[in-house]
Amino acid sequence: MPATADALRGLYAWLEEAGLAAGVPPQILSRMHVAAEEAVSNAVRHGGGAEVTITLAMSSSAAELIIEDTGAPFDPTTAPLPEHSRDLAELTPGGWGIGLLRRFCPDVRYRRSEDTNQLTLRYPSK
């Protein structure tokens, strides 16, 4: 898909359809939705790339969502989590994506291959 906000709007429907067809358990699929939206949204908003490719794979041991983009190198597995105020009046929008990604996916892996970021969100089925 093109790395645009318009294309991002179709992610939820695509993942729901592909996940159900692949047999992803509902409790995993709901967590996958949150993590995928954060990962793809960050690639679209901050990566500066032209393309985002998303692949869903299901095996007997895990469901994996592989998100590849042609943007600037960025490893969310090593990026520090931003500090957020505990005072509601001082909170500002944004900056929650990496924390949500890590919270909603038990196994996040990153690698850079040539000009492509590859983020694998792995959900063990057991």
Q: Is the pTM of this model over 0.95?
A: no
Place of tokens 């729901």: 16
Between 9-13, 30-34, 56-60, 104-108, the lowest mean confidence (pLDDT) is in: 9-13
- pLDDT tens digits for range 98-118: 878 888 999 999 999 999 999
Nearest residue to 55 (alpha-carbon basis) of 22, 26, 100: 22
Which pLDDT value is given to residue 15? 94
- pLDDT tens digits for range 53-100: 999 999 989 999 999 999 889 999 987 776 655 666 655 555 667 878
Which pLDDT value is given to residue 95? 60
Q: How confident is the model at residue 31 (pLDDT cuts 50, 70, 90)?
A: very high
84 within 8 A of 95, measured Cβ to Cβ: yes
| Count of CB atoms situated within 10 Å of the CB of 26 | 9
Nearest residue to 104 (alpha-carbon basis) of 43, 26, 44, 28: 28
Cα within 13 Å of Cα(8), Cβ side: 16
Q: For the chain, list the domains and their CATH numbers.
A: 5-124 (3.30.565.10)
Nearest residue to 69 (alpha-carbon basis) of 120, 116, 4, 119: 116
